[in-house]
Amino acid sequence: MKLAAWAALAVGVCPAATLLRTPYVQNVAADRATILWVTRELGEGLVEYSADGKLWRAVPAEVRAFTSQAGATRHQYQAELRDLASGRSYQYRVRVDGEILKDGVSFRTAGPGPFTFLVFGDSGTGSEEQAALARQMFAEDEAALVLHTGDLSQDDGSLDRMEAHYFAVYAPLMSRVPFFPTLGNHDYGTDLAAPYLFVHVLPVADAPPAHAERYYSFDWGGAHFVSLDSNLLIHPEMTTWMLAWLERDLQKTRRFWKVVFFHHPPFPTGHHAGDALCEQVRLRVLPILERYGVQVTFSGHEHNYQRSKPLRNGLPVEAGAGLISIITGGGGAGLHPVGSAPELAFGESVHHYLRVRVEDWRMSVTAVALGGRILDRFVLAPPPEISSDGLVNAACFGPALAPGSLIAVFGRNLAVEDRSALNFPLPVELAGTGVSVEGRPLPLLFVSPNQINAQLPYGIEGPARLRVSTPNGSMEASLRLTATAPALLYVSASGARLPAIVRQEAGEVVSPSSPAMAGDTLAIYLVGLGEVAGAIPAGQPAPEHPPLGTRHPVEVRVGGLVLSPIFAGLAPRLAGVYQVNVKLPAELPEGDHPLRVVSNGAASETVTLRVGSLSPEDLSSELDRNRPAGFPRYQLERNQDLLRRLRRAPLDEIRQ
């Protein structure tokens, strides 16, 4: 026995645990990360981490024992780091029983701004090409994350194979950069991919519990990533679950860039031409991706590099208008020849990986061959698209529009992020996005990748052309303005989405739990009442004194009654929002009454007005106040919450 070992036994200290799998980062997001490692001996694991190298925090690790194929017991440690700062670098080290097993490593959380990621697949053979390519990727210092397109083990997907052909090869890179893989057909070779699921910690993302981590999604910067398990497409019921999840996931995302990766390519040209699962991807998956504006997919399976033309419904379209499908299966396995197909833009049988740079409006994809040669390079810069029915009134999403109206424009690639106007006057550009009508810039309330809210100018009539412009291009749509197009605004109140009808004296939104009372004066908030009796530019807040009334007559119809407003005009301190003050008759019976606002022959949608009854005590209190009902007795500052909700009223419902 060596002297050091004798000394350790003499003072009762056990030797440090033997590190078998180097610590690696998983499931990194803006506020979290997971650290895993494996030892031979069992002990108490701990991760210490620091953002500045001075203040260190410690997180205990959970331990799971497992058995190698040789029958030896091993121990996998997992520590969850939470409440991290976005876009921040963290140093970390791991300890077992107090002894440092690994130090001097770091990772970076997801954050806003440009970033770079790597993509490769079909790697797990232990070949020299795989090892050389791994060394080349390790030199990519700017890589924030890695996507793997499947077949981590090119053999049977066993744990021992993954240790030799996955962790041992990529350990230096995995210690600092999270890998987000997708399941390949070979990864299913052992216990339906149980080893793959055991060694990874991946986002759950609302998938059915039985499918957890087989498919998932996550956000990084301005991009939304989706990993699908294309192996499941052979099973009808599992296909239904996964595709329903995919629809929900893509419908919810607010990111400009949408990237989907899976193993089986939709357009194989060589070794897997005619593959049934590839056909299922093409027939079942691609229509969903196109419907939600996914710009690019990454796959493996064929051991080469292939880039499709921009495609929509399987047919080539102009650049930026379609989905590009990339095969990147040259990670180290034996190569396959590239065939020919009408969809193919470029291909080469070569070991390679992809370097992808994501910026606000552009995504640059570079295919790098073994040895550093640039194999292929292209840029995605999708121009804005306005949906066929995507130019509507911002309050009710109907097609009728009037001068001064708040409008919503729906489509895709409209802006790189969600951005709201913060001050008056409203800006005519937000996050690089602008909107104009007949060359006149429109004030903007809100922009996002799928929706824009803006105000039309006053003094415009008849048919016109609206243009959305971004750094990637522009698109036009037709609109027709009528003199008036009233539409009620809605707010969230009492746990429901309710018309913005306020009991003026009480300052409360009318709801089933707070009904209007006979004799009440109501303030009704809406858009689309057209020109006003005074000059005001679009995008400016309406003055409180003097109030600006409408040029066109307005009436409020409650049941069979036609009521003349006390005031109808622009709501003070808001842009594009109108306020109609009307007094309910004292004899109005309690119950539900249909209500709508009519101006110049155009009517708003009909809503239900709940009218209640006052107790004698309530009635006495109402009479004691004896407040006049004229404009502007209802002061918006009395209810700051309502003011906030009205400013966001067109955004209470985001239509995808």
Lowest mean pLDDT among 89-93, 146-150, 250-254, 645-649: 645-649
Q: Tens of pLDDT along 342-382?
A: 999 999 999 999 999 999 999 999 999 999 999 999 999 99
- Pick from 447, 464, 481: which residue ends a domain? 481
Assign 614 a pLDDT band (cuts: 50, 70, 90). Answer: low
* 318 and 195 assigned to the same domain: yes
Tell me: pLDDT of 616 over 50: no
* 374 and 389 assigned to the same domain: no
Q: How does DSSP classify residue 321? A: S
Tell me: pLDDT of 138 over 50: yes
d(CA 343, CA 5): 66
State residue 206's pLDDT score: 84
Q: Tens of pLDDT along 79-117?
A: 999 999 999 999 999 999 999 999 999 999 999 999 999
Mean pLDDT along residues 512-524:
94
* 456 and 592 assigned to the same domain: no
d(CA 522, CA 529): 17
SS3 content of the chain, % helix, strand, coil (to 5): 15, 40, 45
Lowest mean pLDDT among 26-40, 546-560, 616-630: 616-630
Cβ neighbours around 320 below 10 Å, total: 18
Single-letter amino acid code for the residue at 115: F
Tell me: pLDDT of 487 over 60: yes
Tell me: pLDDT of 640 over 80: no
Q: Tens of pLDDT along 311-350?
A: 999 899 998 889 999 999 999 999 999 999 999 999 999 9
Dihedral (Cα; 575, 576, 581, 584), 10-degree rounding: -130
Q: C-alpha angle 523/525/531, rounded to 5°?
A: 115
d(CA 267, CA 280): 11
* 311 and 349 assigned to the same domain: yes
d(CA 614, CA 205): 50
Assign 651 a pLDDT band (cuts: 50, 70, 90). Answer: very low
Cα separation values, 482 from 41, 385, 463, 531, 623, Å:
78, 25, 9, 11, 43
> Does a structural domain hold residue 59?
yes
* 101 and 169 assigned to the same domain: no
Half-sphere exposure of 418 (CA within 13 A, CB side): 5
> Does a structural domain hold residue 349?
yes
* 28 and 44 assigned to the same domain: yes
Mean pLDDT along residues 564-572:
96
Tell me: pLDDT of 554 over 50: yes
> Does a structural domain hold residue 247?
no
Nearest to 152 by CA among 178, 176, 121: 121
> Does a structural domain hold residue 357?
yes
State residue 15's pLDDT score: 59
* 494 and 446 assigned to the same domain: no
> Does a structural domain hold residue 245?
no
CATH at 436: 2.60.40.10
Cα separation values, 531 from 398, 454, 534, 571, Å:
19, 17, 9, 14
In the numeric block, which tokens belong to residue 27? 């499931």
d(CA 499, CA 627): 24
State residue 99's pLDDT score: 97
> Does a structural domain hold residue 623?
yes
Half-sphere exposure of 219 (CA within 13 A, CB side): 17
CATH at 32: 2.60.40.380
Q: C-alpha angle 537/541/543, rounded to 5°?
A: 100
| Contacts (Cβ under 8 Å, ≥6 apart) of 530 | 402, 403, 404, 483, 484, 485, 550, 551, 552, 599, 600
State residue 493's pLDDT score: 73
CATH at 291: 3.60.21.10
Half-sphere exposure of 304 (CA within 13 A, CB side): 19
Share of the chain above pLDDT 90, in %: 83
| Contacts (Cβ under 8 Å, ≥6 apart) of 268 | 274, 275, 278, 301, 302, 327, 339
Half-sphere exposure of 288 (CA within 13 A, CB side): 21
State residue 152's pLDDT score: 97
Give me the DSSP letters along 560-596.
Answer: TEEE--SEEEEPBT-SS-EEEEEEPPTTPPSEEEEEE
**Average pLDDT over the chain, rounded to whole?**
90
> Does a structural domain hold residue 346?
yes
Q: Tens of pLDDT along 194-215?
A: 999 999 999 987 888 889 999 9
Does the N-terminal peptide bond of residue 265 adopt cis geometry, omega within 30 degrees of 0?
A: no
d(CA 474, CA 469): 4
Assign 494 a pLDDT band (cuts: 50, 70, 90). Answer: low
In the numeric block, which tokens belong to residue 599? 């101006």
Largest Cα separation within the chain, whole Å, is: 103
* 503 and 580 assigned to the same domain: yes
State residue 320's pLDDT score: 84
* 508 and 637 assigned to the same domain: yes
Mean pLDDT along residues 455-468:
94
Cross-sheet strand order for the sheet of 33-39:
19-26, 33-39, 73-81, 62-67
State residue 632's pLDDT score: 29
d(CA 627, CA 358): 60
| Contacts (Cβ under 8 Å, ≥6 apart) of 406 | 393, 394, 395, 445, 453, 454, 455, 456, 527, 576, 577, 650
Q: How do beta strands 257-261 and 223-227 pair? A: parallel
Cβ neighbours around 138 below 10 Å, total: 16
State residue 10's pLDDT score: 35
Mean pLDDT along residues 14-42:
94
Mean pLDDT along residues 408-427:
94
Nearest to 496 by CA among 647, 594, 588, 608: 608
Rg of the chain over CA atoms, in angstroms?
Answer: 31
> Does a structural domain hold residue 217?
no
- Pick from 481, 507, 527: which residue ends a domain? 481
d(CA 406, CA 526): 10
Mean pLDDT along residues 153-182:
96
Q: How do beta strands 496-499 and 490-493 pair? A: antiparallel
Single-letter amino acid code for the residue at 172: P
Per-residue burial over 9-27, b = 16 or more CB atoms within 10 Å of its CB, e = otherwise:
eeeeeeebbeebbbbbbbb
Assign 504 a pLDDT band (cuts: 50, 70, 90). Answer: confident
Cα separation values, 504 from 254, 412, 523, 537, Å:
37, 40, 6, 28
CB 170 within 8 A of CB 26: no
Tell me: pLDDT of 431 over 50: yes
* 473 and 491 assigned to the same domain: no
How many structural domains are present in the chain? 4
Assign 14 a pLDDT band (cuts: 50, 70, 90). Answer: low
Full residue range of the structural domain in which residue 602 is found: 487-651
Give me the DSSP letters along 151-211.
Answer: -SSSS---HHHHIIIIIHHHHHHHTTS-EEE---TGGGTTGGGHHHHHH-----TT--GGG
Q: How do beta strands 554-558 and 521-527 pair? A: unpaired
* 86 and 176 assigned to the same domain: no
Tell me: pLDDT of 644 over 60: no
* 529 and 406 assigned to the same domain: no
- Pick from 110, 138, 159: which residue ends a domain? 110
Cross-sheet strand order for the sheet of 257-261:
216-220, 223-227, 257-261, 296-299, 324-328, 305-308, 344-348
